[in-house]
Amino acid sequence: MGLGSLPALSLLLLFLSPTVFGYNPDDVKSWCAKTPNPGPCEYFLTNKPENTHITKESDFYTIAVQLALERTLQAHQRTNSLGPRCRNELEKAAWDDCLQLYDFTIEKLNKSLDSTRKCTKVDKQTWLSTALTNLETCRTGFYELGVPDNVLPLMSNNVTKLISNTLALNKVPYEEPSYKDGFPTWVRPGDRKLLQATSPAPRANVVVATDGSGGFKTIKEAVNAASGSGRFVIYIKAGIYNENIEVKGKNIMFVGDGIGKTIITGSKSVGGGATTFNSATVAVVGEGFIARDITFRNTAGPKNGQAVALRSGSDLSVFYRCSFEGYQDTLYVHSERQFYRECDIYGTVDFIFGNAAVVLQNCNIYPRRPPNLTNTLTAQARTDPNQNTGIIIHNCQVTASAELRPVQSSVKTFLGRPWRQYSRTVYIKTFLDSLINPAGWMPWDGNFALNTLYYAEYLNTGPGSSTANRVKWGGYHVLTSASEASKFTVGNFLAGGSWLPATGVPFTPGL
């Protein structure tokens, strides 16, 4: 999506000068004082000629999002102008990611402003969280490829600060939203039958088969053929599909013949010149994506660095009975709300990572043999304390993979480490085998984030579950209260009762 496809409101804001609205200076100072970043808030609002009063909190929230959108559009335009300065493929790869991520950010801010859309404050907090995550991902891509500072996007920190302000203004407690008219409009009640059926294949819109027995030989062709506003089901017959796929359409469903039977595989990696964001074998961003009975694989290997099997930025996405296989950075839970049930995840370093609001339930987590003798299961990337994101691992099993078992005693395996300052990860009623290091958690870099993160464990079992010798960080918690742990259940953390029943996926709403 390029600049020409932006919504009319965005294009209008793009060409407005910073003196569009204008607000009474006394109003501005008092209202901006309610935000974590009053400086840019005051600067951009007081430098406007008109004299308008802000009368209520909802108006100020709208104004704050409009201001963030205006500055994001200008940053997008400046980033777009950097194209000619890209001197090689590495710089161009990071630049391409940023353009796409800015497009996604503009889309999320527009959704948060759309008064015609039926949504809750939780929905808006999710989209605003994603907007901030997108900008951080853009910046990260340049750094990880070693692109020099003079080619970095001309992104003012004011953009991230303004989005951070909107998160603070819209902050909501852990609670399940109620939809007066039933399920949200983007959930299709008919999906229930697709996940509950023995085989959804007969209801498929299209069929993919490597032997030519379906309508398509590649999954990418089938994705490109997706149409209509309802659920579009792509049945992918057993076979190995060596391709990289991006799913942008809404309400698309992949159905395979089972783990280890329908396999989608790729080998892109940071070691091979891709960004982490663009290394994914399969990337999904269209809301309402569902996958069932499929293996997602990245075969770049343990020595090529970050190499993603699946990246999801799909809001209200479901992965049921799927396998994710890689080494470093296998499963990129990038953003939005996601649910994984009865899945297998294999990897070594930070192999479940990102900044989504995600719950993994009844899954098997298999650390593999790492090249540097250290495994970290998670690396959660919350950069703002008001982002409603985190990695929740509920009623899962953490055991050594077959390749790790013979050398398990020489490998240190940790539950996670803080990729970003407000990293949040919670293990609930999960079996932790003896491979888990007694300290439980690993620092990222010295004392970074140790007091601002939120790591917690609640009623885990197994020989690796003892908290007696766990880290003593200010942000680490051993939960003993069911009411505190309940904040991180499917029902509360994902508002699962509002959308998961329609998909038909089995889930436990509470502890």
Task: Give the span between the Cα atoms of 122 and 2, in whole angstroms.
Answer: 28
Task: Give the span between the Cα atoms of 101 and 277, in whole angstroms.
Answer: 10
Distance linking the first and last C-alpha atoms of the chain: 41
Q: Is 401 helix (H, G, I), strand (E, B) or coil?
A: coil
Task: Give the span between the Cα atoms of 236 and 228, in whole angstroms.
Answer: 19
Residue carrying the six token digits 């140790």? 450
Tell me the CA distances in angstroms from 58 to 18, 23, 64, 65, 121, one per residue in order: 22, 15, 10, 11, 11
Task: Give the span between the Cα atoms of 296 and 275, in whole angstroms.
Answer: 18
Task: Give the span between the Cα atoms of 328 and 350, in whole angstroms.
Answer: 6
Q: Greatest CA span in the chain, whole angstroms?
A: 72
Q: What residues act catalytically? A: 329, 350
Tell me the CA distances in angstroms from 177 to 183, 184, 394, 492, one per residue in order: 11, 11, 21, 9
Q: b/e per residue, 307-319, with b = 16+ CB within 10 A?
A: bbbbbbbbbbbbb
| Strands 374-380 vs 349-354: parallel, antiparallel or unpaired | parallel
DSSP state of 73: H
Mark out the alpha helices in 197-277 (DSSP H runs): 219-224
Token representation of residue 173: 């407690």
Sheet strand arrangement including 239-242: 239-242, 262-266, 295-298, 323-325, 344-347, 364-367, 397-398, 431-432
Task: Give the span between the Cα atoms of 108 and 103, in whole angstroms.
Answer: 9
Task: Give the span between the Cα atoms of 202 and 426, in whole angstroms.
Answer: 39
Task: Give the span between the Cα atoms of 178 and 353, in whole angstroms.
Answer: 29
Which strand (E) or helix (H) includes residue 88?
none
The backbone torsions φ and ψ at residue 347, rounded to the nearest 5 degrees and listed phi first, read 175, -175
Task: Give the span between the Cα atoms of 379 and 334, in whole angstroms.
Answer: 11
Task: Give the span between the Cα atoms of 141 and 146, in whole angstroms.
Answer: 9
